A and B are shown apart, each in its own frame.
Chain A
Amino acid sequence: MSNNEGVIYRISGPVVTATGIDARMYEVVRVGHEKLMGEVIEIHGDQSVIQVYEDTSGIRPGEPVLSTGQTLSVQLGPGLLTSIYDGIQRPLQTLEEVMGVFITRGVDADGLDLEKKWDFVATASAGDEVVGGQIIGTVQETETITHKIMIPPKVSGKIKSIDSGEFNVTEAVCVLDDGTEIKMMQEWPVRHPRPYTQKYAPDTPLVTGMRILDFLFPLAKGGAAGIPGPFGSGKTVTQQSLAKYSDAQLVVYIGCGERGNEMTEVLDEFPELIDPNTGQPLMNRTVMIANTSNMPVAAREASVYTGITIAEYFRDQGYDVALMADSTSRWAEAMREISSRLEEMPGEEGYPAYLSSRLAEFYERAGRVETLNGDDGSVTVIGAVSPPGGDISEPVSQGTLRIVKVFWGLDAGLARKRHFPAINWLNSYSLYPQSLNQWFRDNIASDFPEVRTEISALLKVEAELQEIVQLVGSDALPIDQQLTLEVARMIREYFLQQNGFDPVDAYSGVEQQYAMAKAILTFQDEAKKAMAAGARLQDVVNVPSRTELMRARFAEGYLENIGGLVDDMVGEITGTVEAN
């Protein structure tokens, strides 16, 4: 006979040991008189070790522990969008209603509103044979997103009855021949990836509107990227920009062990901001998870799993989902904290030996897939990494870099110069260009990859020249190299720099990016021509129309105006020959 009630034997911070309970690994248990939620993470003989998702102060040995038979799961269904949850999917709004502005403990809350009625439109009919993943109806959840109601994975059969109409998420909208009721809500254990038919190689970029990313280091839909950087270098601003402007259909934003105010900012801003891709408020396509640095660490550990499971669920509906996790280092530290309470043998820098495999498993849940219903969906994962002292030789950065194909390295030196985004163009990389080149050729310009190569080559040459300049000063360089320095400066100041807070400059479409890159190359060509004909470098560089060309990107309609501005610049540069 199995026993579902035991007692607390020991309490050490977020880790509680119970005896007398027959629990399974990763089973959810209720701890103490206040029934705090916890999860079994280790079993030794009669002792079950539990990580508790709420503060354990004041709890005593001898208090009861109850097993629930459930593993840590999320509720999936209409009502996810526009929500903000803590790490274990409790809606923060509900917590406020119950507890007030401070988060106390011992309160349960459903992830979805179980009462709310949704307008379910059946798309399958009685008599249809259905299998897991198949779509049987839809709910218009927000103006942007049609929520597709699916048969849960592993369920199949023939539909006996199905009805359109107003339902809440726990009412049966469909019944199968064997009596199985299908509800709009399904539950899924967060630590298990949701199934799909097969993974595809990514071939479409996730367009972000950030020039340095799309143009030099593109990320594919279904890909994974890591953004390491010291504090204050721009990880959060970059992640938020991606959440705002990237052309994913849905965004899951996880604030994992970071600042409360940053989440508040998103909450304030997103309902007001308009998604450039749909014209609707950004909030309509967003699910947020906020387990800030001062909220319980065990729930922080769970938060990334909660987030990615929600992302997979929308992927299964055929959507392109982007997930941002800020910061994966705080997640890793939560693992370290729990692991050290378990007195596990530590690996590098005190992290548990399984750190890299957990990182790999997490990023593996990204991908572009053929869903169970034959559709095409993707989860793109972008993880911020916060290396101590900004030194990426540490285990979390290294574990991440071994898996992700895109590395956007933020640089304290650039941030200090207010060069934003402070992504270092010399050490960042993307392994996707080969698979994405065709898309850029077909959709933007046939010579797009070549223009990119030319721009990055100029930046590399600049870096070499700068070393010489450091020794002898720029005036000592031959005049053609001085021109190269000016061109590279233009790339940096006009193209790479992008103000994440400027209402216009924050988003640059790929066509505009291409036009700007071409404008720089035009400047280079015209300057060379003019100088060959006797113009002075200084005059060429200082033509007012070039400054205008650069400044005008902060005004609306830049893509339409850029051609004219380039023509003006060409005219003035030609003029510098005569002036001499």
Chain B
Amino acid sequence: MTSKEYKTITDIKGPLVFLEKTEPVAYGEIVTIRLSDGSMKNGQVLDTSDDAVIVQVFEGTEAIDRQAGVKFLGDVFKLSVSRDLVGRILDGAGRPRDGGPDIVAEEKADIIGAAINPYSRQSPHDFIQTGVSAIDCCTTLVRGQKLPIFSASGLPHNDIALQIARQAKLKDSDEEFIVVFCAMGITAEEYNFFRTDLERTGALENAVLFVNLADDPAVERLITPRLALTAAEYLAFEHDYHVLVIYTDMTNYCDSLRQIGAAREEVPGRRGYPGYMYTDLAMLYERAGIVKGKKGSITQFPILTMPGDDITHPIPDLSGYITEGQIVISRELHQAGIYPPINVLPSLSRLMGGCIGEKTTRDDHKKVSDQMYAAYAEGRELRGLVAIVGEDALNERDLQLLKFSDIFEDKFLRQDRDEDRTIDETLDLCWSLMSSIDEKYLVRLDRELIDKYGQHTE
């Protein structure tokens, strides 16, 4: 289809171009813009009426002038999907970045993605063993879950994400995940780190990468995760794959969203982020899950860096309100030299309850996990007290808990970057560490479990 080219731009502002006197243009329609030097940019319609059209330009509006030619392509944004996506590296707008051929479409899929009918969903309940004790025991990952990493700059979230991508498997199964990796505004160095590791382990052949780096267009970041999720849905629901989507860094995504909102002079919500950011993020995160009658699944592992290490910042806050838990990385633990520096206290896996226990992990998992948490939480709180009054003021129970909090960090949390612990190993480790606390203080464990697994020597 050859469509008409308009040269009716009236205003250019931030990433937005305003034009008038067009034929009826569809909401969400895809646009190309030809600059005077012949180069092309891409965009999408954000607002349309008889009188004016607003276009958001993915590559930014630099060098666009009022003479630029605008074409409306008659369709909303679609990704060419195919089984051949696997093994490919694409840029943030879905074009090959690996020098390979264009993807020959088996199908063209709308990247906005339709909502899964809640009636058609199937509750996720398959335990994924990540081999990381803190996660497997305390914030268990479930196939089909969306579980973000809340991190901050300078912390080893990438190592953790990669370790999980490498080790994640269903208990007693070799079934592997296809990784869909989506980079949004990360540095070339970070990207290389991911790519090299995926290459090293051979996972790259079973991965699709969508890459928008720090020096790539900021507005393009708004479509990159949508492309990644569209690919993931296609692979999961048309080709039965279990897909693990890792995207990083959601913070850059949200900043692009803020940029558009500001350019449109929208009334901002908290800290300048748009009032619709919750809905916008939900349209990404909710694309995780399992649906009835399909074999595949989408598990999401978004990474975000909390500005100022602040968990109440709108980005982690709104994410936490949508995702099914979070894994929080702690600067304090990192500085204490502990890897993985996961602070289990604010971390949570909401789907854990339904996927652990006798039939899936072990009968003691729930109670052990509760007890580990409770004891560690109290022990850590006591550290503050001890700093003021000294250990002498503590009674016997408090002393034991205080000591336990150190043991917990040193023996339970700490593990090597390629140490892959089975869930049995993790739970056995818990029992052995808990033996440093008198049985009578372990009120969250019941008699039978203590008799069965307890390692107390009376």
Contact = CB atoms under 8 A, between A and B. Distances in A.
Given A95-B119, A231-B321, A333-B278, A101 B293 contact: yes
A473 B374 contact: no
Given A61-B25, A96-B119, A391-B312, A293 B267 contact: no
Name, among A56, A63, A260, A337, the residue most crowded by chain B CB atoms within 10 Å (CB to CB): A260
B27 interface: yes
A62 B276 CA distance: 27
A294 B50 contact: no
B373 interface: yes
B162 interface: no
A542 B117 CA distance: 53
Contact of B48 (A10, A230, A261, A268): A10
A416 B117 contact: no
Contacts of A100: 120
Nearest to A555: B446
A473 B279 contact: no
Contacts of B362: none
B345 interface: yes
Interface residues of B, number: 82
A283 B248 CA distance: 41
Interface in B17-75: 24-29, 46-51, 75
Contacts of A12: 27, 46-48
B317 A231 contact: yes
Interface string B106-136: 0000101011111111111000000000000
Contacts of B278: 257, 293, 330, 333
A231 B317 CA distance: 7
A1 interface: no
Name, among A92, A340, A472, the residue most crowded by chain B CB atoms within 10 Å (CB to CB): A340
Contact of A267 (B27, B118, B282): B118
Interface in B236-276: 237, 266-270, 275-276
A374 interface: no
Contacts of B312: 388-391
Contact of B325 (A57, A232, A336): A232
A279 B24 CA distance: 60
Name, among A294, A295, A476, the residue most crowded by chain B CB atoms within 10 Å (CB to CB): A294
Contacts of A13: 27
Interface in A336-353: 336-337, 340, 346, 349-350
B262 to A, nearest CB: 13
A292 B287 CA distance: 12
A239 interface: no
Contacts of A544: 440
Given A58-B26, A61-B24, A473-B389, A101 B292 contact: yes
A3 B331 CA distance: 65
Given A102-B116, A349-B269, A259 B286 contact: yes
Contacts of B314: 388-389
Nearest to A476: B393
B118 A58 contact: no
B389 A471 contact: yes
Contacts of A93: 119
Interface in B365-395: 370, 373-374, 377-378, 384-385, 388-389, 393-395
Interface stretch (B2-10, B184-192, B346-354): B346-354
A284 interface: no
B433 interface: no
Nearest to B265: A343
Nearest to B291: A101
B115 A264 contact: no
B394 A475 contact: yes
A470 interface: yes
Name, among B28, B119, B325, B389, the residue most crowded by chain A CB atoms within 10 Å (CB to CB): B119
A264 B275 contact: no
B217 interface: no
Given A104-B114, A260-B118, A473-B394, A493 B443 contact: yes
Interface string A370-389: 00000000000000001011
A57 B353 contact: no
Contacts of A265: 123, 354
Contacts of B291: 101
B285 to A, nearest CB: 8
Given A292-B115, A292-B286, A473-B393, A10 B275 contact: no
A336 B322 contact: no
B438 to A, nearest CB: 10
Contact of B446 (A55, A231, A388, A554): A554
Nearest to A469: B385
Nearest to A85: B119
Nearest to B394: A473
A297 interface: yes
B49 A10 contact: yes
Contact of A61 (B50, B275, B351): B50
B364 interface: no
A98 to B, nearest CB: 10
Nearest to A542: B440
A268 B112 CA distance: 28
B117 A96 contact: yes
A62 B112 contact: no
B286 to A, nearest CB: 4
Contact of A57 (B76, B116, B350): B76
B289 A261 contact: yes
B395 A475 contact: yes
A292 B294 contact: no
A101 B294 contact: yes
Interface in A229-272: 230-232, 255, 257, 259-261, 263-265, 267-268
B456 to A, nearest CB: 15
B338 interface: no
Name, among B266, B270, B275, the residue most crowded by chain A CB atoms within 10 Å (CB to CB): B275
Interface string A174-188: 000000000000000
A389 B318 CA distance: 9
A463 interface: no
Contacts of B374: 417-418
A337 B286 contact: no
Contacts of A471: 388-389
Interface string A55-85: 1111111110000000000000000000010
A337 B279 contact: yes
A391 B271 CA distance: 14
Contacts of B25: 60-61
Contacts of A412: 346
A255 B393 CA distance: 49
Contacts of B370: 418
A386 B278 CA distance: 12
Given A102-B115, A103-B117, A346-B267, A17 B26 contact: no
A177 B167 CA distance: 76
Contact of A350 (B27, B46, B275): B275
Contacts of A297: 276, 279
21 contacts: A11-B27, A60-B26, A61-B50, A84-B118, A92-B117, A101-B116, A101-B120, A103-B114, A259-B322, A260-B121, A261-B289, A292-B282, A293-B278, A294-B287, A340-B267, A350-B267, A386-B321, A389-B313, A417-B377, A470-B388, A474-B398
Given A100-B120, A103-B117, A473-B393, 15 more contacts: A9-B49, A56-B27, A56-B28, A57-B28, A96-B117, A96-B120, A101-B293, A232-B320, A261-B123, A293-B278, A294-B282, A350-B269, A391-B312, A418-B370, A418-B373
Interface of B: 24-29, 46-51, 75-76, 110, 112, 114-124, 144, 237, 266-270, 275-276, 278-279, 282-283, 286-287, 289, 291-294, 312-314, 317-318, 320-322, 324-326, 345-346, 348, 350-351, 353-354, 370, 373-374, 377-378, 384-385, 388-389, 393-395, 398, 440, 443, 446-447
9 closest A-B pairs by CB = A473-B393, A10-B49, A389-B312, A293-B282, A57-B28, A92-B119, A102-B114, A101-B120, A231-B320
